[in-house]
Chain A
Amino acid sequence: MGGPVVDVRGLRKSFGRFRALDGLDLRVEAGHVHGFLGPNGAGKSTTIRVLLGLLRADGGTVRLLGGDPWRDVVALHRRLAYVPGDVSLWPGMTGGEAIDLLGALRGGLDERRRAEMVERFELDPTKRGRQYSTGNRQKVALVAALASDVELLVLDEPTSGLDPLMENVFQEVLAEARSRGTTVLLSSHALAEVETLADRISIVRDGRVVRSGTLADLRGQTRTTIHATLTRPLPVPAPAVLRDVHVDGARITAHVETPRIGEALAVLTVHGIRSLTVAPPSLESLFLRLYGDDGTPAR
């Protein structure tokens, strides 16, 4: 199978007068872990629910695993597993029962992996739905999804309730899934998680994808931060290679276009460097910049 696993073009979806998705494009290649980033209410979950055939697209084209997610529901869903962000379990049913039900509906679970996942996530499968905490409910959904052999994992903020230890387990398990060749669409607002796992990233805002690419691509678009203490003050105005220069006595802070770091260091060396930190562009700074850009509060 050569084509992309997810291919969304110009997707539009409104709820009443509220426009949730406004021409969203998304492409996930086979075998990739694709990070789907955005603030709350940007349209991540809506996109995923369209991909699962739970919502009907108002416009645009949506292809999932080569099929139409609204029409070919059953055939497609045999090949994917989904973890909702807000897991709600049946109050009277145990976690184990819920895992088996969800697995059976997908066409069966890998028994060996089910046992392994229950163990690694330290889940007690004999508790009833209403007795689980948020994190434990999430674990039930994760075990059900990860214990089945599927081509595509759709994960909607899967770790928001997990403790750091369990988040580690999740990262390991996801890395194993990737090495088996599973494609993953990982929606999140936890930047660190996406930074370590994702091959490619799409950033969504107000119902559109505002940036998409590999981590390196996105880093290239942003600036490196330099903190330095100099022996001799910089001239005013500062050389053009340094942006947003902030001088506090001998200490300066400035931004540099990532490809021009060498040039900037050459300029600074002339003024005598006593200490220097060069912070690589984090996804976080990119994220903050994209959201702060035109001053509208993120919804």
Chain B
Amino acid sequence: MSTAAASLTGTRPLLRVALRHEGRLLAPWVLVVTLLSASSVVVYPFVFPDLAARRALAGAVEANPALGLVFGPAFDLTTVDGFNAWRTLALGGFFVALGAVLSVTRTTRGQEDSGQAELLASGVMGRSARLLTGVAVALVGSLAAGVVAGVVTGLCGGAWEASLLLGATYTASGWMFAAVAAVTAQLGSDARTANALAVGTLGTLFLARGFCVSLDAPVWTVRANPLGWMLETRPASGDHWAPLLPAVAFTVVVVTVGFALQARRDVGQGAIAQRPGPARGRVRGPLLLALRLNRAPILTWAVAFHLLGLVFGYFTTSITDLVAGSTGVQQVLASGATTPEQLTGAVVRTLLSLVGIIAAVPGIQIVLRVRGEELEGRVEPLLAGALPRARYYASHVAVALTVVTGYLVGAGVVVGLMAARADLTVGLVDVVEQTLATVPAVWTVVAVAVAVVGARPVVSLAAWGALVASFLLTLLGPTLGLDDLVLGISPFWHVPDTTAPSPDRSGLGWLALVTAVLVAVGFVGFRRRDLAR
């Protein structure tokens, strides 16, 4: 048997088990993208029945370039499929890619962390079998997501070619990032680091694509970005399949790099070796512990938000040009429905809500860490000391809320400074005021995590549900013409427009109240429930 074949011995039985186990964990991602894609096809004809309504939507989308950061350009919003392509191409690909990254890391690095890998490696198994299995599962999962989403969308009334092409872009995004994760799993010394590297790459490329497209940057900036290739397929406004080929090539090349790296390292070790640490500790209390446990992500996110502030700030300074260059916007302005000041205000508000939603991610991570530590059995010895549960929990919650506030305000100040220098209708004070008004909404999202981890930790994933719901309702809800009652589920809907002549700040009171109730539920629950082992 050749060495290459020998290094893959044992893949087949491993793959069978992994598919069964991972299938359950990948199914939600398939479901999410399928719902995302099929729902736009089903809902669109009802909400925008005629051409006039569709043109109005196109104008509204063009008037708020902040939407383009997330969704990319709207090529054609007058057809169902064009709308679906705009709404789901970027997001669907992002979700499938995220699912693929988490899956690859779980089946490779995660297994090494938990010791399963050693058990498996001692069996009749080639060196590369585990990595191949992990990658194969993610590839199959991405393929399933693309096919199911495409076919279901077609069955729901989408044009077949556009729907299937859209599904193919999901698959291609998933494949490329399964490959990226196969490399980062070799670089990071544990699953957390490997995930952070891969998801960081995904987030950066995603943001870069939105940024370059929205600002009409030179076309090579989009072509140089693997996620940009997905845009070039233009589902429903051209239907080009060719850009998927470089995506497949990218996958093959990067996976090969992953295997090459894997063949050179020891099981359980990363590229960076561990050094001895201090013999004595300075962490003597729960607050310092909470900071210490989250030190790496807190610093990483701080850098990320600084960059995010710069990107969004630069974006804000270009609003005037973007709006001036859009015929749709000019029509809206001419009709007297709104003023340039209001438009700029709306864009800034959307951008800051977006920063707020992103800021909630580290907040939720820090709160969920409490549950992770509990399941690892590391909370038990702490609480066996003279440490009240409430104080332990409060330390983590305080860190989470402080950190998200810091991130949001930091990014807001950067945006404000850049806006002030660009001589816009909004200045530093306006932006910072709007940022501060956004803070309670972020707290509410984090408070959902506090409530579930405290009272119903079995469903702690619901914390992410709250975040995704806020995100979709805030960014997509208004364009879908949803009822205020539904839109109000997102805490960001209650953020007042502080640039308005007499802003209605009552929403903030409600947010504070809901946040307080959720936090109280979390603390009472955490005090009363059994601690998991």
Contact = CB atoms under 8 A, between A and B. Distances in A.
B280 interface: yes
A82 B387 CA distance: 13
B281 A101 contact: yes
Given A54-B530, A100-B283, A127 B387 contact: no
Interface string B385-404: 11111000000000000000
Contacts of A131: 274
Given A73-B388, A82-B381, A106-B385, A126 B530 contact: no
Contacts of B16: none
Q: Could you tell me the dominant secondary structure of chain A's interface residues?
A: mixed
Interface size class of A (residues with CB under 8 A): 35 or more
Interface residues of B, number: 36
Nearest to A45: B533
B267 to A, nearest CB: 14
Interface string A91-132: 111101111111011110000000000000000011110110
Contacts of B377: 84, 86-88
Interface string B264-279: 0000000000101111
A93 B274 contact: no
Contacts of A154: 384
A261 interface: no
Nearest to B377: A88
B281 A88 contact: no
Contacts of A81: 384
B21 interface: no
Contacts of B387: 74, 77, 105
A265 interface: no
Interface stretch (B171-179, B285-293, B325-333): B285-293
B278 A97 contact: yes
B505 interface: no
A99 B281 contact: yes
A27 interface: no
Contacts of B279: 94, 96, 125-126
A144 B285 CA distance: 15
A141 B384 CA distance: 12
A94 B386 contact: no
Interface of A: 45, 49, 52-56, 73-75, 77-78, 80-82, 84, 86-94, 96-102, 104-107, 125-128, 130-131, 141, 144, 154
Return the 5 tightest CB-CB contacts between A and B, nearest first. Answer: A97-B281, A105-B385, A100-B281, A104-B284, A94-B277
15 contacts: A52-B383, A74-B386, A77-B385, A78-B386, A87-B381, A88-B378, A89-B378, A96-B279, A96-B280, A100-B280, A100-B283, A101-B281, A101-B289, A104-B284, A105-B382
